[in-house]
Amino acid sequence: MARICELTGKRPIKGSIIWRSGKAKKKGGIGQHVTAITKRRFMPNLQRVRAVVDGQIRYVLVSAKAIKKGLVVKPPKRNWKPAEE
């Protein structure tokens, strides 16, 4: 399953981890040196939520930012009770 937000289209982006050694000049050293660079991916914060889509209630993968913005319309709470005899 692709890690893509169904509303905003957010997807993983590429980045890198930069390993440095040495003490910073500001702190009294001779400066930092890059010793290694490794690739990594930044994943979006996706959540599986129930939402109203085209009048139907279904589960969608949405980013947390979309939920906070109010782009997701959540269905009303069920108030079902068993039949009394």
Residue ranges covered by each domain of the chain:
13-69
Residues of the chain below pLDDT 50 = none
pLDDT attached to residue 19: 95
pTM: 0.71
pLDDT attached to residue 59: 96
Q: How far, in Å, CA of 65 to CA of 50, rounded? A: 16
CB distance 25 to 12 below 8 Å: no
Structure confidence by residue, pLDDT tens digits, 34-51: 999 999 999 999 999 999
pLDDT attached to residue 81: 86
